[in-house]
Amino acid sequence: MVDLMIKNGLVLTMNKERLIIKDGCVAVEEGKIVDLGKTKEIEGKYKADEVINASEKIVAPGLINTHTHLSMTLFRGLIDDKKPKDWLPTVWKIESNLTREEVYCGALLGALELIKSGTTTFSDHYFFMEEVAKAVRESGLRACLAQALLELMGPDLGQNKLSYTVDFAKKFRGAAGGRVETFLGPHALYSVTEETLKKIREVADKENFRIHLHMAESKWEIEMVKEKYGKTTVEKLNEMGFLKPDVVGAHSIFVSENEIKILAEKRVNVAYCPTTPIKAGVGVAPIPEMLQEGVNVSLGTDGAGSNNTLDLFRELRMAAVIHKLRKLNPETLPAFQVLEMATVNGAKTLGMEKGIGSLEKGKKADVIIVDFKKPHVTPFHNIPSTLVYSTVGGDVDTVIVDGKVVMRERKVLTLKEEEIIDKANACFKELVEKAGMETKLM
């Protein structure tokens, strides 16, 4: 007897053999995949409490978003078409008025969006992370949460102390029935002192925490760091002994060939967010070069305040096409390689590769079911191509996290969608008014 059986689907395992099972079936018990194979074989071995018919659908690992700021859903569309040097101070001005309730409200909205677009695990870096942990528990998602630490600039929300970041990480590690993992969250080299970064490194080593920070994100950052330290961001962090396999460097756009070699040597993980820097006119990270050197690169959306969406399927497409243009070579970053960035590479970035990222016996049952009987994915014949170039988040039919169905046939079972949307609109209006800003529809 098993708890759940997903049958008759096209199962994209994302395992090392790149196995795709036609008329496939996945058996789940106590939150884990206990068997998978042809439907006839699996049905003959088990009876299930619940059966999902995935006929004419793709059964795939849940997507993994390795860098976002979930509560910034409340900032969506508010600061568009701004230069980076103007965008960040404006964000900090708004954030200086943030309350715990607003962070919780934005996190619920973000969780709803993640579920409805097929993301089952996300890595978040923001303020009042206790509220985000609460939203994770209620939504049923899996998350890696880091309490942001800014010392030299940014909003003062009474949390700009190393102890706040460390205490959160210790207290909430393993929360939500084990679905929450915690990281340490220094914002960036330019916004945290060298002394504090060294202490964070010490705590990470002692307590076995991973570190999530912004790294080499803009020319403005590189210039500021060079002026202060005489080195680039990656060079300085390396000199400090900060770079290790437990580091997740978000963005990593402005890195040289030598710095890529440093990232590869130190086995640093890069959380690549394609849309944000392109939309901001900042630049394109040298992702094919990183992959060539063996750097583990995963995908993220960044926050909805800069990207406007948390739909990781949009990032799949953007990641695939922008580098074909940049390299003037359509063979650059083929579809399956980009899918790896959003699944198995993402799991490795978060230190969770033994549990998630692919559909295999013994791994956690984090599964999405994608409907391919739609005009924009017809004719259907190539799963990787379909998922990367044609699919959108709205094609996700069912989402399962830890063996539990959190969305069935587009209906989210864990959250009250209409109530969350109404509350988010009210929170947005309050935030804008507190910041002294205006919108056309206010």
CATH, residue 238: 3.20.20.140
Assigned domain for 271 exists: yes
Q: Is 57 in the same domain as 86?
A: no
Instruction: Let me know whether 129 and 53 are in one domain.
Output: no
Range of the domain at 217: 63-349
Q: What is the pTM of this model?
A: 0.97
Angstrom CA distances, 93 to 79, 434, 436, stand at 12, 10, 10
Same domain, 54 and 87: no
32 assigned to some structural domain: yes
Residues in the chain: 442
Average pLDDT of the segment spanning 276-283: 93
User: To the nearest whole number, what is the mean pLDDT of the chain?
Assistant: 95
- 318 in the same domain as 379: no
pLDDT exceeds cutoff 60 at 236? yes
Contact 119, 346 (CB under 8 A): no
Domain end (from 301, 324, 349): 349
How far is it, in rounded angstroms, from Cα 396 to Cα 393?
A: 6
For range 210-238, the mean pLDDT: 96
* The pLDDT of residue 31 is above 90: yes
Report pLDDT for 156.
79
User: Do 402 and 297 reside in the same domain of the chain?
Assistant: no
pLDDT at 97: 86
Give yes or no: residues 106 and 37 share one domain: no
Q: How many domains does the chain have?
A: 2
- Is residue 336 domain-shared with residue 320, that is, in the same domain? yes
Same domain, 319 and 334: yes
Question: What is the C-alpha separation between 279 and 275, in angstroms, rounded?
Answer: 6
268 assigned to some structural domain? yes
12 and 20 Cβ atoms separated by less than 8 Å:
yes
**13 found inside a domain:** yes
- 329 domain-assigned: yes
Same domain, 231 and 132: yes
Q: Is 421 within the bounds of a domain?
A: no
Q: Is residue 441 part of a domain?
A: no
Same domain flag for 373 and 286: no
Q: Are residues 17 and 78 in the same domain?
A: no
Residue type for 317, please? R
pLDDT tens, 77-108? Answer: 888 888 777 788 888 888 888 999 999 999 99
* Rounded Cα gap, residues 209 and 204, in angstroms: 5
pLDDT at residue 88, rounded to an integer: 80
> Domain containing 41 — which CATH number?
2.30.40.10
Specify if 420 maps to a domain.
Answer: no
Specify the pLDDT at position 432.
Answer: 86
